[in-house]
Amino acid sequence: MPIMEHFKIIQSLCRIGLGSQNPAFRHQVERLREALLVSGEERSATTLDRLLKAEQQQQTLRPSRVVASAARRSGEELSPRVQPPCDRETGAALAELQFPNLHDSSPPVLSPQLNKAVDTLLSEWSNAEKLAAMGVAPATTCMLFGAPGTGKTRLAQYISASLNLPIVQARLDGLISSFLGTTARNLGNLFEFANRYNCLLLLDEFDAIAKLRDDPQEVGEIKRVVNTLLQNIDSRTGKGLTVAITNHEFLLDKAVWRRFEIRIAIPVPSLEERQEIFARYLPPLDIDESMLKFLGWLSNGMTGSEIETVTKGLKRLITMCSGDKSSALIEHLQGYALTHANAHPNSRISLLLGAPQHLVQTVMNDPEIQITQAAMAAVLGRDQTTIGRWIRSERSAENEVAANA
């Protein structure tokens, strides 16, 4: 059987391999593309060319990995043998220690503008001597804010891995106490620990300890906590990197904002970014470019975390139905929509459960996606003639409604 009958498998292998950013692998894919052109397999060669260009574009969007300048190295080295600080009364840990080689250090999918902002922060830390000659130092405080699931924690982990800094992540369950004055004391102990070591202090769910001090719903204790927090952030200057994360930036005290030199808003991903997220999480499933484009459109309003949930659900459904080789991906998507009703209210997934004619018309009328009838036929597992007939039928119905209005 000719090898090109298995080209979809080759395509998936190339997509996965190119994601590793291995120059030798990329060179072999380029050789395969040229060989296909010579042998007259132009369609297959074009597919590989798109994969190569897409991966090249993704590489330019990723923040570059840098090494922190020795001038920014202060404090003792933190090792897994070190015990985190604890609450004196309960013994609960005030922090969790994470090390760059033990967590996923891949960056979230971000826009070119956001990648540039992150790259600027990393570049400052790798060029501390140059900045010192200008009488300034790299930024040591960074606020990440946005909707849940947009990749803020993953971005903080990527920054720590890029700078080779272990993370001291505050644990709110141990930090916040019902005893008067204990939360403020725990905060002081947490910062004292972080200041001792060369690390990235990560304050997730930051709004829990940095609320507005004039909030009428809060008692006087929150004022004491916020005042302590501000003092500790100030005292940490020059002793490492502090990253705060919040989903509710509107709850933060105004004085807290002034303590953060860099503030990055992380929005929900765009159409192109959603496609890239699907391409990251779907392998080893074999997904062609038309379906990837459709999935990006279908997931409108979803965060990166929600898209990861969709891909996991699809993989489970496909694995459980592996005996039925005739099932198309669109059928598994419809199965996902049935078993995850209202899980993604801002997306377009519910359209999968309606008339296919309406789905086709909605997609084809959206100027953002610009998908062809041939691509829609491939997505739905129909012939192009059927897709054309559905579109004409929907348009006739719309014109009739308009005429009777």
Shared domain for 109 and 137, answered yes or no, is yes
Q: How far apart are CA 123 and CA 128, in angstroms?
A: 9
Shared domain for 38 and 148, answered yes or no, is no
Q: What DSSP assignment string belongs to 79-91?
A: -TTSPPPB-TTT-
Shared domain for 32 and 98, answered yes or no, is no
Whether the model clears a pTM of 0.85, i.e. scores above it, the answer is: no
Asked, for residue 51, whether it belongs to a domain, the answer is: yes
Last residue of a domain, one of 213, 245, 266: 266
Shared domain for 89 and 193, answered yes or no, is yes
Would you state the pLDDT for residue 1? 41
Total domains in the chain come to: 2
Taking residue 28's Cβ as centre, other Cβ atoms within 10 Å add up to 12
Taking residue 287's Cβ as centre, other Cβ atoms within 10 Å add up to 20
Last residue of a domain, one of 266, 289, 322: 266
pLDDT in tens, the chain (405 residues): 455 667 777 877 887 788 777 777 888 888 888 888 888 888 788 888 878 877 776 665 444 445 555 445 568 899 999 999 999 888 899 999 999 877 667 888 999 999 999 999 999 998 988 998 999 999 999 999 999 999 999 999 999 999 999 999 999 888 888 776 888 999 999 999 999 999 999 999 998 888 866 655 455 677 888 899 999 999 998 788 999 999 999 989 889 999 999 999 999 999 999 999 999 999 888 788 899 999 999 999 999 999 999 999 999 988 888 655 456 889 999 999 999 888 888 789 989 999 999 999 999 999 988 899 999 999 999 999 999 999 888 888 777 777 776
Shared domain for 243 and 96, answered yes or no, is yes
Shared domain for 132 and 19, answered yes or no, is no
Shared domain for 81 and 55, answered yes or no, is no
Q: What DSSP assignment string belongs to 53-78?
A: HHHHHHHHHSPPP----GGG--SBPP
Asked, for residue 133, whether it belongs to a domain, the answer is: yes
Looking up residue 83, the CATH number of its domain turns out to be: 3.40.50.300
Shared domain for 173 and 24, answered yes or no, is no
Shared domain for 48 and 107, answered yes or no, is no
Interstrand relation of 241-246 and 95-98 (parallel, antiparallel or unpaired)? unpaired
336 touches 350 (CB < 8 A): no
Shared domain for 96 and 237, answered yes or no, is yes
- Residue given tokens 């699809």 in the structure block: 314
> What range defines the domain where residue 214 resides?
70-266
Asked, for residue 358, whether it belongs to a domain, the answer is: no
Asked, for residue 299, whether it belongs to a domain, the answer is: no
Cα–Cα separations (whole angstroms), residue 61 to 57, 269, 378? 7, 14, 29
The count of C-alpha atoms lying within 13 angstroms of the C-alpha of 135, restricted to the half-sphere facing its C-beta, is: 0
306 touches 344 (CB < 8 A): yes
